[in-house]
Chain A
Amino acid sequence: MTDIRKKVLIVEDEESNYALLQVLLRSWNVELAWAQTGAEAILRCQQHSFDLILMDIKMPEMSGYEAIKRLRALGVETPIIAQTAYARIEDEEKSRELGFDAYISKPINRIKFNKILEQFLT
């Protein structure tokens, strides 16, 4: 039987934050992949196709802002959600301008988080 679960890529450099997303996504029954930098995320996307990407912004080497630009330039059309501790209104605006499909600030509000996932995983 082939795996019909949706594939989600988490791009996050902080281990504890990845662990949290992992738990939060458990009830969604998705297949998870983890990239710790923007560059790693690009590499992953070139190898597999994902149904959703959860992207941190402040990361080593390459930020989420840069990563989304490059992913879009490579033709990756997967919805990308920004999940970041940059929590000012300007930060949300900026993520929308750069083409993120949704934005959630840290600390992550579980109810909001699930509502956003509903849009992309159902």
Chain B
Amino acid sequence: MSDTLNTLKEVLRDFADRYSGDYLLYQQEGTFRCVDWNRSSEVVAKAESDETVPVKKEWLPTLAAMAQSGKGIVSIPLSDLDLPQNGYVACIATSYLKGFVALLLVKGSLTSFASNARVNSLLRFSREIYFSFNLQDKKLNYISPSIEDVLGYSHKALLGKNLEELAVYVHPEDLSILEQSIAFDHEFDDATPVSLQFRFMHRTGRYLYFQLNAQMEFHDWEPVEVYCSLRDISEIKETEDLAMQLNVQMHALEKELQQSQKKHDDSKLPDQADGAPRQLVSNSLAHDEEVFQQMAENTNDIFMLRDAKHIIYINNQFEKIWGRSKEALIQDPYQLSEWIYPEDQPNVEVWVNLETLTRNTPYVQQFRIVKPDGDIRWLWSRSFPVYNSEGMPYRLLEITTDITEQKDFEDALMTAKEKAQESDMLKSTFLANISHEIRTPMNGIVGFSELIARDDLDAETRKNYVVIMKKSSEQLIRIIDDIIDFAKLEANQIRISAETFDVNKLIDQVFVFFENRMEQSDTNSLTLLVSKALPDEEAEIVSDDHRIRQVLSYLIDNSVKYTDEGFIEFGYTVQGDKLEFFVKDSGIGIAKEKREVIFERFRQADEGHTRKYGGTGLGLPIAQGLVNLLGGAIRFESEENKGTTFYFTIPYRREKEKESKEVFSEWIDEKYNWKDKLILVAEDDELNFEYMKIILESSQAKVIRAKDGSQAVKICSNLNFDIILMDIRLPILNGIQATQQLRQMGVTTPIVAQTAFAMDDDEYKCLAAGCDRYITKPISKGKLFSTIEELLQK
């Protein structure tokens, strides 16, 4: 029993790491239990403390079937799970592990996946048509775009049509089959999908034969929707018909032969005379057999004609599809069953009994076979009876098609659908987390900025408020920086530079930075250590120092978060043509089951509503993205409660490219004096302008404002400025357009662009339009002033 519980715990944990959903169903001792899954970490605890509810009995067969196959989706009313809410959940079979089944439940409808782009493009290139009917209004509520290729109609033209309107396209002879089978009379249960064949008109007017598979979707035992797939089987149908015709002809010839034989026997003519008619008949037979054979050899399907005991004819296609010799089969037809995929063997009737066949309806089977080389193929066989003169079935025609590609496609579609759903779920969790992380510091900023405006505050209180606001703002900026870096990585917008720098100095700088920070936050019990492999005089390398610093910072931040006491050591070693950086800590380590997901986007080892370590969960994915861009790889070693070491490599390059390096001198304490200078500030936001005006006027410069781009152009045609500060997001004319116009007018004043969107693309656009410099908001006075000073000196 405790063994079972342990395995269950393991499975649930494993499952919780890989998927997310609203509820989790798992199989235990012949029943299914449902557990609320808002925090994956608590699923196990809940299962243990028995905070689970059993699923109503009616669902057991369906769920068991899904669990067995690991496939399928079904809607279950929440009330059947004994859950207090109303509504339905989509139950998706996802995993079958170690004797336990975990089924994922997601609130909401199943059809939403069709709007997913990836699924849709799969559907677009499919040779099958997928569609669904709403049973309330009996209208077509979805049809895949593949209908355009297969039937020539635009899928929009058919959408929203009801059954009567669609019946026009169906071959009149087949209407009754459709009406009988899909009467939508709720008689068939959801476990049995409908499968039938009928003709549907192509846009050009000819009829194509289709295989229709349909499955009902139930809510509260009421069918609400029917999902269908249509496959063009016209070619197969044609060959089948031809084969049937030939068989009838052969049968007629044989009858003729029998009769002439009988006549001959009756007349008791001497031997010599009886040769003529027989000769004639067998000639004709031979001719027809030749036609039959020719036709049979030219199809992709297996053709087999047999009687109760022997194979009369089988085409060469058999050898291709099964990978076995025809002769061997003919000698011992029963060995067919040994070549069937073991799991399918109990369900397949390889030697269909003639008596079980009925007129007009083929006996249809789908199964897998194993070829001698181990390849597994999906086959679809149809068996037809052939009748003798007495109207008794005496022969059987079997046509078998290899449908592996189609099956693979269906599987791919299913996987894509599951993936899409999973990533949708991850994304919404991610968004909720980001929103939470932004709102948390915002609470301090918004709350205290309201309070600080009050008059009755003493200086000390006011100062305290400002300190809190400043801390919260810094926290917010860190989060926003992370999000922007993450978005840039996702959009491939990060550019890596290759510059010469001193890697030992970089390590020292990072060390000083973190040492200071740790001092401030009283983490006394933590020691920071560094290790550098290259001697200082050989420490110049070529790479992107800014990005390496960023990755190191993420990793050290991460270590600080998870290490209460002991040490954090970082540095690098030389590994041939690579430098391997490392960050090693004596922290809590990474739990085994979390190791696979820590680099995944939107994930955090500590998901859910308990926040021990905070953050957006973007640090490690960003670090990984940056390391990849730097041309290296990231990995880690970890032991629970002992610590974790992250390693990342970069190519070790030493050749110094002759490049003039831009030097930004930090002139923070120097006085700027721009007494006679005239500065235009193009800025639509009142507050931003006020801020710019205050800091610019501290240099005694004169500041003039333009509220939009066109005003900036107008003012510039009348006045000569020394510097123009151009906001990019401006009304009427944006900053880029305004800059272009100014340059066209011949205005040569240096223009500094500024925007809140720290995306590299903006930078390129600004410079291309004719701006001289580019700075991002929030604007630091030091950076702004050094930029302006530099331009004024030119």
Contacts and interface: CB of A to CB of B under 8 A. Distances in A.
A66 to B, nearest CB: 8
B268 interface: no
A97 interface: yes
Contacts of B39: 63
Contacts of A66: 42, 609
Interface size class of chain B, counting residues whose CB lies under 8 Å from the partner chain: 20 to 34
Nearest to A20: B447
B439 A85 contact: yes
A59 B620 CA distance: 22
Q: Is the interface of B mostly helix, strand, loop or mixed?
A: helix
B440 A108 contact: no
Given A58-B611, A59-B610, A110-B450, A19 B439 contact: no
B608 interface: yes
Contacts of A20: 443-444, 447-448, 468
Contacts of B445: 107
B205 interface: no
A84 to B, nearest CB: 8
B468 A16 contact: yes
Contacts of A23: 447-448, 451
Contacts of B437: 85
A65 B448 CA distance: 27
A28 B610 CA distance: 30
A106 B39 CA distance: 22
B109 to A, nearest CB: 16
B123 to A, nearest CB: 30
A121 B617 CA distance: 39
A60 B439 contact: no
B472 interface: yes
B194 interface: no
Contact of B439 (A61, A62, A94, A106): A106
B439 A107 contact: yes
Most buried by A among B432, B436, B451, B471: B436
Nearest to A15: B468
Contacts, number: 84
A110 B445 CA distance: 13
A65 B609 contact: yes
Interface in B158-175: none
A52 B437 CA distance: 26
Contact of B443 (A58, A86, A91, A106): A106
Interface in A56-81: 57-66
Contact of A16 (B432, B436, B444, B612): B444
Contacts of A97: 84-85
Interface string A79-111: 000001111100100100100000001111010
Nearest to A93: B85
Contacts of A17: 440, 443-444
A38 B678 CA distance: 59
A86 B447 contact: no
A61 B524 CA distance: 23
B279 interface: no
A31 interface: no
B49 to A, nearest CB: 12
A62 B610 contact: yes
A96 to B, nearest CB: 12
B415 interface: no
Contacts of B85: 97
A107 B443 contact: yes
A66 B448 CA distance: 30
A72 to B, nearest CB: 14
B35 to A, nearest CB: 15
B609 A107 contact: no
B435 A85 contact: yes
Contacts of A19: 444, 464, 468
A25 to B, nearest CB: 12
Interface of B: 38-39, 42, 84-85, 432, 435-448, 450-451, 464, 468, 471-472, 608-612
Given A14-B443, A57-B609, A85-B438, 14 more contacts: A13-B611, A14-B444, A20-B444, A23-B448, A60-B612, A63-B609, A66-B42, A85-B443, A86-B436, A94-B38, A105-B439, A106-B439, A106-B443, A110-B447
What 3 pairs between A and B have smallest CB-CB spacing?
A: A85-B439, A63-B609, A16-B444
7 contacts: A16-B472, A17-B443, A23-B451, A57-B609, A105-B439, A107-B443, A107-B447
